[in-house]
Amino acid sequence: MALLQISEPGQAPDPHQRRIAVGIDLGTTHSLVAAVRHGVAECLPDAQGRVLLPSVVRYLDGQKRQVGYEARAHQAEDAADTVASAKRLMGRRLADLKDAAQLPYRFVDQPGMVAVDTRQGLKTAVEVSAEILATLRQRAEDTFDDDIFGAVVTVPAYFDDAQRQATKDAAQLAGLNVLRLINEPTAAAVAYGLDHGSEGLYAVYDLGGGTFDVSLLRLAKGVFEVVATGGDAALGGDDFDHRLAAWALQQSGRSAVSAMDKGALQMAARRARETLTDHATTMLHCPLDDGDLRIELTREQLETLTQPLVERTLAALRKVVRDARVQRGEVLGVVMVGGATRMPAVRRAVAEFFGADGPSRVLTDLNPDEVVALGAAIQAHALAGNAQDDQLLLLDVIPLSLGIETMGGLVERIVERNTTIPVAKAQEFTTYQDGQTAMAIHVVQGERELVADCRSLARFELRGIPPMAAGVARIRVSFQIDADGLLSVSALETVSGVMASVVVKPSYGLADDQVAQMLRDGFAHASEDMQLRALREARVDADRLLLATQSALRSDGELLSAAQRQDIESLMATLREVVAGDNHDAINAAVEALAQGTEEFAAARMNRGIRQALAGRSIQDV
């Protein structure tokens, strides 16, 4: 198809060149950016040739910030103002943090999400993550010497709606156009599966710095279907380090009280743990306020200390295998993701779990630090319309059940976990009092029976129900979850037609206008002229839509009547005219007009596409 495209006068000869899409793995300890170049996904290095960016942001006096290695170098001495592992704070309240006391930060609890009090004021994980994402965006722009069209950002499969929304907000704050949020294990499977041309049932075991995920996927002809997913959003390599640090203190009969000590010890523990991957013994060495701490440590000791953590990951594996209703032996291979899976004890435990009664292989040939970013890059490349063959499709699931609160603080589930997205589900409820004219709707996420044990996502009210006897009103609550796994909810009283709806946003409430405000404030790209940027983005959108429409007219134009075709062509002409000008609002309006004007055409094309797919299949079958 691409060969047949003839460019319009005045357009760049190859518009694909401009559509640079990246995959970003926003990790707890490290983040990476990758892109498909010359047909191959690769991680983009910084000026020093390093692909990993430590997920650490240090807030200095004034408005200065350090991100990455520079920040991490000062982490021990400036622990309270150097935020690491911000991912664990994403969409969380202070009460959600089990290990808050061990962390060196001045936490301030806020409705919706905890913040860290720094020299530069309160910072939420969204803002910290935005710094990291903006740094990676800059790296990609420097690499290509061009703007980034869009990004696929990965999240742990087990992230709930609040955590996903927070991640998307952070990306927007960093000036990224989010093409899609995808789950980390799914991204790893894409990177792995496309590399190896695998088919069948695979598991992804992803033990990152701060999260643990496990997913089962079925791979067939470029379709990656997530069958079941699970994990523990608060378990990762960091926890292994915590255990080790606590043990070292206990052994030496000392205590690390200052923030600096806590930070230093945590880092020393990580170094020791990493060394024990290739060595039988090591020295855990850490300078503390009251003198150096030195303790000899063997791999066996490490494994005994952290065995309960490994066991927790195996419990999650068991649960996912049961959820998927498959036998362990059906799993053909296990993709290992995350630096913590380098630990021999982890590899051994996973191999034993699957190996006993099946042909499973533990797959470690792709770099466990990079595999997620590589998969995200491949998906970004495809979503941007650059992929040569159209065979990649991800069918992901919702990781946690969604429901609403009913009488007595109980949860009525509306969408069960592991349901393929996008999905819409509706359920009817009724009033319990005579003459009730309003209904409070409380949306929750989780597997427990009691509302108190689930995560509260949103509350809204349906008002103006006409007074009726109890039980007569019919209130239809509809959940819709889009392909990013993000939720919107609406409620409709079907007798009277009264309606209310809410797009579920975490209640820490980075509303769109707040994000816009922060962008205006120059966050993350202070030097950039926002007007110019908006214009450039509007033009890219316009070019995209014009190209897509043109190609649709060429391939399916006969679906339109002459009048319909003329309408579309005149909308295109209008858009071409305004694109030549420099009013981005006018361009956006013309884009929207053309988009609306082609909606029916798009529906007709899709119907035909499906009919053709049907016809193709019945020929094969006969």
Partner 1 sequence: MNIDDDDFTLFALPERFAVDLAQLDRRWRELQTEVHPDRFAAQGAAAQRIAMQWSVRVNQAYQRLKDPLKRAAYLCERRGAPVNAERNTAMPREFLMQQMAWREALDEAQDAAAMQALDARVAAQEQALLGRLQASFDEHNDVAAAAEQLRALMFVARFRQDVEQRLDALES
Interface mask toward partner 1 for 480-499; x: CB under 8 A: x-xx----------------
Residues facing residue 397 across a β-bridge:
420
Residue 44 in contact with residue 140, Cβ under 8 Å?
yes
Name the minimum Å distance from CB 319 to partner 1.
Answer: 7
The answer to whether 475 contacts partner 1 (rule: CB under 8 A) is: no
The answer to whether 453 contacts partner 1 (rule: CB under 8 A) is: no
Q: Between 80 and 545, whose beta carbon lies closer to partner 1?
A: 545
CA distance 371 to 192: 8
Q: Which of 422, 502, 533, 537 binds partner 1 (CB under 8 A)?
A: 422
Q: Between 251 and 427, whose beta carbon lies closer to partner 1?
A: 427
The answer to whether 1 contacts partner 1 (rule: CB under 8 A) is: no
Residue 384 in contact with residue 179, Cβ under 8 Å?
yes
Q: Between 179 and 400, whose beta carbon lies closer to partner 1?
A: 179
Single-letter code of the amino acid located at 386: N
The answer to whether 383 contacts partner 1 (rule: CB under 8 A) is: yes
Residues facing residue 456 across a β-bridge:
444
At residue 274's C-alpha, the angle toward residues 167 and 239, to 5°, is 50
Burial class (CB in 10 A: 0-12, 13-18, 19+), 250: exposed
Name the minimum Å distance from CB 595 to partner 1.
Answer: 4
Q: Between 424 and 573, whose beta carbon lies closer to partner 1?
A: 424
The answer to whether 611 contacts partner 1 (rule: CB under 8 A) is: yes
The answer to whether 424 contacts partner 1 (rule: CB under 8 A) is: yes
Name the minimum Å distance from CB 599 to partner 1.
Answer: 4
Nearest to 164 by CA among 129, 215, 196, 205: 129
Buried b (16+ CB within 10 A) or exposed e, 307-323: eebbeebbebbeebbeb
Enter the tokens of residue 194: 């496309």
Residues facing residue 283 across a β-bridge:
296
Q: Which of 11, 494, 514, 596 binds partner 1 (CB under 8 A)?
A: 596
Residue 181 in contact with residue 164, Cβ under 8 Å?
yes
The answer to whether 516 contacts partner 1 (rule: CB under 8 A) is: no
CA distance 151 to 178: 5
Categorise residue 473: left if φ over 0, alpha if ψ from -120 to 50, beta otherwise: beta
Stretch 302-331 residues interacting with partner 1 (CB under 8 A): 315, 318-319, 322
Q: Kindly indicate which of the ranges 99-107, 369-377, 404-412, 609-617 contains the residues binding partner 1, using the contact rule CB under 8 A.
A: 609-617
Q: Where are the beta strands (DSSP E) in 469-561?
A: 475-481, 487-493, 499-503
CA distances from 210 to 59, 194, 297, 340, 535 (A): 22, 27, 23, 10, 39
Q: Which of 421, 462, 475, 524 binds partner 1 (CB under 8 A)?
A: 421
Stretch 199-238 residues interacting with partner 1 (CB under 8 A): 220-221, 223, 225
The answer to whether 607 contacts partner 1 (rule: CB under 8 A) is: yes
Q: Which of 384, 457, 487, 579 binds partner 1 (CB under 8 A)?
A: 384
The answer to whether 576 contacts partner 1 (rule: CB under 8 A) is: no
Single-letter code of the amino acid located at 606: M
Single-letter code of the amino acid located at 184: E
Q: Between 305 and 552, whose beta carbon lies closer to partner 1?
A: 552
Query: φ, ψ for residue 18 (rounded to 5)?
Result: -85, -15
Name the minimum Å distance from CB 394 to partner 1.
Answer: 7
Element (H, E) at 584: helix 584-597
DSSP 8-state class, residue 258:
S
The answer to whether 598 contacts partner 1 (rule: CB under 8 A) is: yes
Q: Between 19 and 273, whose beta carbon lies closer to partner 1?
A: 19
Name the minimum Å distance from CB 179 to partner 1.
Answer: 6
CA distance 589 to 591: 5
Q: Kindly indicate which of the ranges 80-88, 274-282, 495-503, 614-622 contains the residues binding partner 1, using the contact rule CB under 8 A.
A: 614-622
The answer to whether 603 contacts partner 1 (rule: CB under 8 A) is: yes
Note the helical H segments in 69-213: 69-73, 125-144, 161-173, 184-196
The answer to whether 537 contacts partner 1 (rule: CB under 8 A) is: no
Q: Between 45 and 385, whose beta carbon lies closer to partner 1?
A: 385
The answer to whether 456 contacts partner 1 (rule: CB under 8 A) is: no
Name the minimum Å distance from CB 482 to partner 1.
Answer: 6
Q: Kindly indicate which of the ranges 98-106, 137-145, 467-475, 596-604 contains the residues binding partner 1, using the contact rule CB under 8 A.
A: 596-604
Single-letter code of the amino acid located at 399: P
Q: What is the residue-wise DSSP string for 357-398?
A: TS--EEE--S-TTTHHHHHHHHHHHHHTT--SS---EEE-B-
Single-letter code of the amino acid located at 234: A
The answer to whether 407 contacts partner 1 (rule: CB under 8 A) is: no
Q: Between 207 and 380, whose beta carbon lies closer to partner 1?
A: 380
How many residues contact partner 1, by CB under 8 A? Answer: 50
The answer to whether 599 contacts partner 1 (rule: CB under 8 A) is: yes
Element (H, E) at 179: strand 178-183
Q: Between 113 and 228, whose beta carbon lies closer to partner 1?
A: 228
CA distance 475 to 491: 7
The answer to whether 177 contacts partner 1 (rule: CB under 8 A) is: no
DSSP 8-state class, residue 278:
T
Nearest to 338 by CA among 40, 25, 61: 25
Q: Which of 2, 393, 450, 503 binds partner 1 (CB under 8 A)?
A: 393
Q: Between 195 and 323, whose beta carbon lies closer to partner 1?
A: 323
Q: Which of 8, 352, 390, 453 binds partner 1 (CB under 8 A)?
A: 390
Q: Between 393 and 532, whose beta carbon lies closer to partner 1?
A: 393
Q: How many residues does the chain have?
A: 622
Any idea which residues carry the catalytic annotation? 25, 87, 184, 206
CA distance 364 to 356: 19
Stretch 237-296 residues interacting with partner 1 (CB under 8 A): none
CA distance 188 to 191: 5
Q: Under the rule (CB under 8 A), what is the footprint of partner 1?
A: 179-180, 220-221, 223, 225, 315, 318-319, 322, 382-385, 390, 393-395, 419-424, 480, 482-483, 541, 544-545, 548, 552, 591-592, 594-596, 598-599, 602-603, 606-607, 609-611, 613-614, 617-618
